[in-house]
């Protein structure tokens, strides 16, 4: 039976949870996630863990922040004067917004604090700084070539 290797297209079911046991994502009830191994389409720690698995294999993988979404970067948190945010834009903590960078790129941010004078926006990935646990089942391997 073939083992998954970089360049292969694989399909997997997964459930992702945090260190406290809370689930943040799952493919249950959906089609398996399909992607090409070794091409950066998923986080590095999970990509590496799938290599060498065969169809039908299951495993639990614990991934540290450096191999997932990185550590939280304080430089990616910024307080913006409230008057710079249009009134119709919600600013409740936890609200996900999109900003545009000076070069035209879209940047997702999360409101972390808001008061009468400023709104604090966090551009870190919501899972940055988190240790992630994935329960995975490799459903299918389509070999490269």
pLDDT computed for residue 13 by the predictor: 98
131/114 same-domain check? no
Going 137 to 25 to 97 to 125, the CA torsion angle's sign is: negative
Position 11 pLDDT exceeds 80:
yes
Give the domain CATH number at 18. 3.10.50.40
Domain that residue 13 falls in: 3-70+127-142
Of all residues in the chain, the percent with pLDDT exceeding 90 is 90
The total domain count for the chain is 2
64/131 same-domain check? yes
9/63 same-domain check? yes
78/115 same-domain check? yes
Give the domain CATH number at 116. 2.40.10.330
Q: What is the pLDDT of residues 39-96, one digit of tens each?
A: 999 999 999 999 999 999 999 999 999 999 999 999 999 999 999 998 899 999 999 9
62/8 same-domain check? yes
- Average pLDDT of every residue of the chain: 95
Residue that is written with structure tokens 């009468």 in the block: 116
Determine the average pLDDT of the residues in 21-38.
Answer: 96
Largest distance between two CA atoms of the chain: 62
35/14 same-domain check? yes
99/111 same-domain check? yes
78/58 same-domain check? no
pTM equals 0.83
Of residues 105, 110, 137, the one with CA closest to residue 121: 110
Tokens of 53: 């698995």
98/112 same-domain check? yes
Q: Which residues pair with 122 in a beta bridge?
A: 77, 110
Q: How sure is the predictor about 128, in pLDDT bands with cuts at 50, 70 and 90? A: very high
């Amino acid at each position: 039976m073939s083992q998954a290797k970089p360049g292969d297209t694989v399909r997997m079911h997964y459930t992702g949870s945090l260190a406290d046991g809370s689930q943040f994502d799952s493919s249950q009830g959906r089609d398996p996630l399909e992607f090409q191994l070794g091409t950066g389409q998923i986080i590095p720690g999970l990509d590496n863990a799938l290599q060498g698995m065969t169809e039908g294999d299951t495993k639990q993988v614990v991934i540290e922040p450096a191999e997932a979404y990185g550590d939280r970067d304080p430089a990616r948190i910024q307080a913006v004067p409230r008057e710079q945010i249009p009134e119709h834009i919600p600013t409740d903590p936890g609200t996900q917004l999109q900003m545009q960078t000076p070069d035209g790129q879209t940047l997702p941010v999360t409101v972390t604090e808001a008061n009468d004078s400023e709104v604090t926006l966090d551009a870190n990935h919501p899972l940055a700084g988190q240790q992630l646990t994935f329960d995975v089942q490799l459903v299918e391997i389509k070999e490269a070539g």
